[in-house]
Copies of this chain bind each other. A is one copy, B any other.
Amino acid sequence: MNYSLGIDIGGTNTNIGLTTEEGNVVAVETFKTKAFDKVEDYLDEITKRVVILCKKVEPKDTILGVGIGAPNGNYYNGTIEHAPNLQFNGIIELKKELEPRLKQEGFDLKVTVTNDANAAAMGEMIYGKAKFVKDFLMITLGTGLGSGIVVGGKLVYGSTGFAGEVGHTIVEPNGRQCNCGRNGCLERYCSATGIVITAKEKLEECAACSLLREYDENELTSKAIYECALKGDKIALECFDYTARILARGIANAAEVTSPRKVYLFGGLANSGELLINPLRKYLEEELYTVYRNTIEIEQSGLKEADAAILGAAALTFE
């Protein structure tokens, strides 16, 4: 039996899992990313926790490597570069710093880095629904919108290692202001953040009564909108419909580049299931150029949310 280490770096927590080839997470180490001011201390902590997990495995040459999924993770450079939601500025040399640290502890392991959406796409290929799917898009709907592009069974990294920023394609010229400094990016509409903006806009535009009006402005989350939609609230349902329509446009534009057979949705908002996916299927067919109609299936990811980020990262070691 072979093992891998999957590391999921988030703004709040860092989760490190020891995984088997079959996709079981057998042990996890978790700590607060935010607890560290200096990147060196943070890297030391990762090293310490990885070593704890590695010591559980005998013989140690059954450990294939360490995979890391991180915001703005770069596959070619083995780095995190200018991640807006981490307290460490600039470039973090994960691979260059972690490999020698681990070697010093007696574990000569290759460290592979990519962004979280790419890691999810790898996870989908190895442990999810995409085992036999050569061309697909992975769309992660969290605070933002991430994407992993798979062409011919391989993740697309592109010339920079940053390929797959579908969340920052422009779907509405002169549209909503995005954190990236431009206007009309897909993720400003289609993400947990985006649907809340939509709800606020709709509540302002019209005076119709809505369960959504019972929430304070800062209590109004994508989950609240989901729950109101389940109860049949008209404005909440309109929010999902609008999100689906704009998401269809963004997916269509990306699909017209690579012609995927499947689109997998993952993350918070994707858990709304048919409430989002049903209108999305309808709008996608409308938005697609003729030759692609009825060629693309949209499904919820087959990855279990709790383990997905760790398994996705661990899957990088199989490449």
Q: Which residues of A contact B (CB under 8 A)?
A: 72, 81-82, 134-135, 149, 151-152, 154, 156-166, 168-173, 180-182, 185, 249, 252-254, 256-261, 287, 289-292, 295-296
Contacts and interface: CB of A to CB of B under 8 A. Distances in A.
Contacts of A134: 159
A179 B314 CA distance: 47
Contact of A162 (B159, B161, B259): B259
A258 B158 contact: yes
A162 B287 contact: no
A259 B163 contact: yes
A162 B258 contact: no
Contacts of A165: 256-257, 289, 291-292
Nearest to A169: B253
A219 B260 CA distance: 41
Number of copies: 2
A158 B291 contact: no
12 contacts: A149-B257, A156-B257, A156-B258, A157-B259, A160-B291, A161-B259, A162-B259, A165-B256, A165-B257, A168-B256, A169-B256, A173-B249
B152 A135 contact: no
A162 B291 contact: yes
A172 B173 contact: yes
Contacts of A292: 160, 162, 165
Contact of A258 (B161, B182, B257, B287): B257
Given A82-B290, A159-B295, A172-B173, 20 more contacts: A72-B291, A149-B258, A151-B156, A151-B158, A152-B156, A156-B257, A156-B258, A158-B260, A159-B296, A160-B259, A162-B292, A163-B259, A165-B257, A165-B291, A165-B292, A168-B256, A169-B257, A170-B253, A173-B249, A181-B290
